[in-house]
Amino acid sequence: MSLVQFLANIPHDILKRLGDLSVDARSESCRREINDLLQQTVLIGGKRLRPLLTFLMGQFFGLDLDACELPARAIEQVHAASLSHDDVVDNASTRRGKPSINVVASNKKAVLAGDYLLANVIVDLATLNRPDVVSEMAQVIRDLAEGEWLQLDAAQNRAYTRESLREIALKKTASVMSWCGVAPALIQNAPAPMVEYARQFGVKLGLAFQLMDDVLDFQGPGLKDQLLDLENGQVNSVLFEWLDLHPELFARYRSGESIQDLWQEKQFNSSLNQSLSTALVAVRTEAQQQLDEARNILNLMNSELGKNNPTDNQKSFRALEYIVDYLGQRSF
């Protein structure tokens, strides 16, 4: 599914909101240098999938789009803050083909800019006078920090397992996607079971998104940074499945050999090449299973909301179905 095909199935009013959405650090006390730095780096470009999902879920639950704007902006700012911190932790040099924030400024300023964004999000959300919404966002931010810590531990100790990779994905990706469903449900005062459905819908989307991101690290088009995890010495789900098919390679990795050196052996061993294809199929299959479960939850929510949903709710329901399809077919 191309980006044009995908966007053609999104309600026009939501696309307009998305285009108009400002993710500036809007506080009057914000130093101009901080906002300029963010706009040059982590706030530039991107698909804005997270605010799009937030607007759609809000409309699905019957919220006015004005009420969705703050949570949509908040989650994009948190995502940008996590990128700012990740660029420092990963010692990155580029992001989306441009110099990363730590290169444009410095590690210290990149960390401070990310911290500022996170604080700005909490200040903004506090204006809703909804402690439950603020608490949910605080949990997302905590999960992001825990996920990065777990990823560092796994890399340093070479202690990757399927369970640890899933836990990292839950905290670093699924937690963010779950907010996109939970926040609108809470703001609309949806019943607790419906809030939990929305949470699980986001979790399933987030897990599938991360799995497909791992696949695209090996199969993506030229614009996608390829083999980025490999270059950073990180084992993602595809690399794990590949190593798991070759216990002798996995043992060498665990004993201290670099994943990059082991990967190079693939050039001279056809079975290592063939097993990469097997690993990619396994990860794609798992991603599709998560999407199937997300689709089931979406249908259940739609059924629970009843047949008297306004037209806008049904338009957003169909668009959410397209998002599920897009995540399984994305090539960017």
**pLDDT tens across 64-75, in order?**
999 999 999 999
The alpha carbon dihedral of 78, 84, 85, 87 has a sign of: positive
pLDDT at 21: 74
Window from 56-65, 78-87, 188-197 with minimum mean pLDDT: 78-87
The whole-angstrom separation of Cα 184 and Cα 59 is: 8
pTM above 0.85, yes or no: yes
Banded model confidence at residue 44, pLDDT cuts 50, 70, 90: low
Contact between residue 39 and residue 31 where contact means Cβ atoms under 8 Å apart:
no
Burial class (CB in 10 A: 0-12, 13-18, 19+), 267: exposed
Contact between residue 177 and residue 202 where contact means Cβ atoms under 8 Å apart:
yes
201-235 pLDDT, tens digit per residue, is 999 999 999 999 999 988 865 444 568 788 878 89
Q: 228-258 b/e with 16+ CB inside 10 Å = b?
A: bbbeeebbbbbbbbbbbbbeebbebbeeeee
| pLDDT surpasses 90 at 267 | no
pLDDT at 28: 58
Contact between residue 229 and residue 214 where contact means Cβ atoms under 8 Å apart:
yes
Window from 31-45, 56-70, 102-116 with minimum mean pLDDT: 31-45
Window from 32-46, 139-153, 265-279, 299-313 with minimum mean pLDDT: 32-46
AA identity, residue 10: I
Contact between residue 253 and residue 158 where contact means Cβ atoms under 8 Å apart:
yes
Domains of the chain: 3-329 (1.10.600.10)
